[in-house]
Structure 1
Amino acid sequence: MDVWQLPDIRDALINREFGRMCQLIRQYGEVRQDDIAALTDLSQSFLSMLESGARKLTNIDKIIQLLDGLQAPPDLTGPMLRPSMHYPPTGSAPAATSRS
């Protein structure tokens, strides 16, 4: 089952309700917080607080980490949450251009 096609999960993502989104993914996908923690490299305790509403997810790096780990489709997240689409790889510089 592709959980990203479910209206509840799509609405939670669009509204940036990440705790609710995680709860729904776990419910529909039959996965545990530990599973999401392993996929996203976020701690299980952080995910628990996120789901309970004790923590909010506002850090863009953590949002990207969560969405990338859960393989959220770019058509739902928008291109701004996919830095690899906008930035060159680490250590490379943009090509210089000269005007004659």
Structure 2
Amino acid sequence: MRIHVVCGAGASSTFVAVRLRKSAVARGTEVHVTAGSEADLASVLPVIDVLLVGPHLAALFARIQQQAEAAGVRACLMPTTVFAARDGEEALDLALAAASTRS
């Protein structure tokens, strides 16, 4: 599964992506995780399965979700707890749930 974590500038999403990768390895779950900014979406959407969106982009989420759905990607708005977490468990659970409901 290919997961992309997006935030405003790409910095905080990188931290989430690193923690998500570590949690996936610990579970034995094979994922490819990238991170970036909202501005990168057009180039990223064609090559991912799940898009995790930072909570600070909530005001833009409807538009981001439409963009993702048009590309066949499941988008999820992450709760603020994901960014505050010390591990990537919640983010990984969110991505796995999204992948299982992807049509």
TM-score with structure 1 setting the length: 0.31
- Greater relative CO, 1 or 2 (CA 8 Å, sep 6+): 2
Which has more radius of gyration? 1
TM-score with structure 2 setting the length: 0.30
The answer to which structure has the higher strand fraction is 2
